[in-house]
Amino acid sequence: MRTALFSFLVLLGSCATHESHEATLKSVLADKFHIGTALNSWHIAGRDSMAHEVITRHFDAIVAENCMKSMYLQPREGEFRFREADAFVRFGEEHHMHVTGHCLIWHSQLPHWFLTDDEGNDVSPEVLRQRMKSHISTVVGRYKGRIKGWDVVNEAIMEDGSYRRSKFYEILGEEFIPLAFQYAHEADPDAELYYNDYNMYFPGKREAVCRLVGELKARGLRIDAVGMQGHVDMRHPSLEEFEASINAFTDAGVKVMITEFDMSALPSPWQSANLSDTLSYEQRMNPYTDGLPEAVDAEWNERMMQYFQLFLAHADDITRVTLWGVTDATSWKNDFPVRGRTDYPLLFDRHYQPKAVVQQLINTAR
């Protein structure tokens, strides 16, 4: 009897270990939405084996943090460099992941030649249209059938709802957006197409993006989802503001993707201007170089969980939630919007360990 009981307990123990081994973010979220992460060059090159373990264990969707931006894909006109992007797409295929292409038309990380002629003057609308078309059809065409969806246009609208005064806008006017969607669709009719932006909780921006979705649809152009980047911090935006935008985009007739989620644990420079003492300013802006105090860590985990609860509540409309990076160590937030800080924005810490919220999320979703 004692041996039977002992064997039973051992079996129970191994089941429990087995189960906690199996319960991963992607397994418990499988029937809710894709859970993704952004891969940097080291991840793609296979030079970060610990990160590789986290990526393949917990995530079923990937996006490239940098290598598919136009300055890397086409540094000079007609000179395409696909090595890293090819490896990135292969990675996704090998691990059966939802692969997002980021991004086709963006004012940033854009090579200079794109907008200027040999004398350095702005190109004509005809030339810009031709360059956009050539870039989009070459890139989208190369990965036809292998990339699930594209961030076609990134960050074209301002918080007040006006168009960003980018060169694309100055040269082509509002038309550059439908053109980009048209070119992308022509290059891969089966690919999903997204409009992607940050600070989507501003009412002006929210309304303008809804109008844009309506206009694209009215012209018969394909748009599948609005990507809400979601670079949030400990105070902004409120869950209510964020949710209002999820609802608005859903009502506009598209799916929602949370495309670049992270939550800075640090004070935001936008909220504290005009500090005369630079040293104390710098210390105040980078307060946790030796680790996150327990209370702040608890607050961070709680707010992160609240965000995921919001995403789960809208799982019918949200098709993917992607974190902008794998661990805190390599997050872009360590250098943005202030360089050289120690931030704590992601689900895995500097030692590749899951934060408390990961287990909590697994328990809740299960």
Report the residue from 48, 60, 65, 317 that binds ligand XIL according to the rule CB under 6 A: 65
Count Cβ atoms below 10 Å from residue 48 Cβ, excluding itself: 21
CB of 337 to ligand XIL, least distance (A): 11
Contact yes or no for 142/94 (Cβ under 8 A): no
Check binding of 70 to ligand XIL (CB under 6 A). no
Please, which of residues 243-272 interact with ligand XIL by CB under 6 A?
260
DSSP state letter for 171: H
Give the pair of three-digit tokens for residue 21.
């081994």
Report the C-alpha gap between 147 and 143 in whole angstroms: 6
Q: Where are the beta strands (DSSP E) in 11-97?
A: 34-39, 61-64
Rank residues 70 and 301 by Cβ distance to ligand XIL and give the closer one: 70
Q: Please list, in sequence order, all residues whose beta carbon lies within 8 angstroms of the beta carbon of residue 148, skipping any fewer than 6 positions away.
A: 98, 99, 100, 191, 192
Please, which of residues 280-299 interact with ligand XIL by CB under 6 A?
none
Three-state DSSP class for residue 103: strand
Exactly one of 65, 84, 192, 260 is catalytic; which is it? 260
- Show the CA angle centred on residue 311, arms to residues 308 and 316, nearest 5°: 150
**Closest-approach residue to ligand XIL (CB):** 332
Rank residues 8 and 336 by Cβ distance to ligand XIL and give the closer one: 336
Report the residue from 27, 41, 66, 138 that binds ligand XIL according to the rule CB under 6 A: 66
Told to judge if 155 belongs to the known catalytic residues of this protein, a careful annotator would answer yes
Count Cβ atoms below 10 Å from residue 23 Cβ, excluding itself: 14
Rank residues 39 and 365 by Cβ distance to ligand XIL and give the closer one: 39
H-state helical runs in 155-256: 167-172, 176-187, 203-218, 239-251
Check binding of 71 to ligand XIL (CB under 6 A). no
Residues 147-166, one symbol each (x = binds ligand XIL by CB under 6 A, - = not), give -------x------------
Check binding of 332 to ligand XIL (CB under 6 A). yes
Report the C-alpha gap between 354 and 52 in whole angstroms: 14
**Secondary structure (DSSP) of 108-135:** SS--GGGGB-TTSPBPPHHHHHHHHHHH
Check binding of 229 to ligand XIL (CB under 6 A). yes
CB of 106 to ligand XIL, least distance (A): 7
Check binding of 74 to ligand XIL (CB under 6 A). no
Exactly one of 119, 155, 159, 299 is catalytic; which is it? 155
Rank residues 154 and 182 by Cβ distance to ligand XIL and give the closer one: 154
CB of 332 to ligand XIL, least distance (A): 3
Report the C-alpha gap between 208 and 194 in whole angstroms: 15
Active site residues: 155, 260
Residues lying near ligand XIL in the complex (CB under 6 A) are found at 65-66, 154, 229, 260, 332
